[in-house]
Amino acid sequence: MVVAADWSQSTMVLLEVNGRRAAFLRQAVERLQLGARVSVLEERAEVAGRRAPMRAGFDAVMARSFGRPAVVAECAAPLLRVGGWLIVSEPPPTDVSVEEGDRWPVGPLRSLGLEPVEGVHEDFAYRILRQTEACPDRFPRRDGVPAKKPLF
């Protein structure tokens, strides 16, 4: 919503599977008078990523870290056009040092058509990836499978 309010030239689809949260988002869109540019879709990302016009339909996907990086990447990549950007908010750093390559390994990301670009760590953290080639048709896998059997 912040990005939509600040970036007036954009159109956005907010994807939320939880009915109560989707209803809240619809109310917020209405109250902020963003309805002409922002819509809310109550659907699983795995479903949206398999159907037109959602598949390869977006220049950017912005996601909170709703699961392990493998789950976020597999759910987002099918939504992106080639050349599109995936921007993922990262959890706060922990005391245990984890290398970025461990969280976002290049090889498995390439199997989705994604390339890591940059990690930003300030008072907040996020990861930027680019869709360098079309996500293969076999992704996303069936509902729930990305979380049950992550690619990495």
Tell me, what amino acid is at 91?
P
**Are 77 and 56 within 8 A, CB to CB?**
no
Is residue 79 domain-resident? yes
Question: What gap in Å lies between CA 47 and CA 126, rounded to an integer?
Answer: 25
* pLDDT of amino acid 45: 95
Question: What gap in Å lies between CA 23 and CA 27, rounded to an integer?
Answer: 6
Question: Domain range spanning residue 16?
Answer: 1-43
User: Does one domain contain both 36 and 65?
Assistant: no
User: Does one domain contain both 27 and 81?
Assistant: no
User: Does one domain contain both 103 and 36?
Assistant: no
* pLDDT of amino acid 19: 97
Q: Where are the alpha helices (DSSP H) in 1-152?
A: 2-6, 19-31, 45-48, 69-76, 100-103, 106-110, 145-148
* pLDDT of amino acid 98: 57
Is residue 32 domain-resident? yes
* pLDDT of amino acid 65: 75
* pLDDT of amino acid 124: 83
Is residue 84 domain-resident? yes
Mark the ranges of the chain whose per-residue pLDDT is less than 70. Answer: 93-101
Number of domains forming the structure of the chain? 2
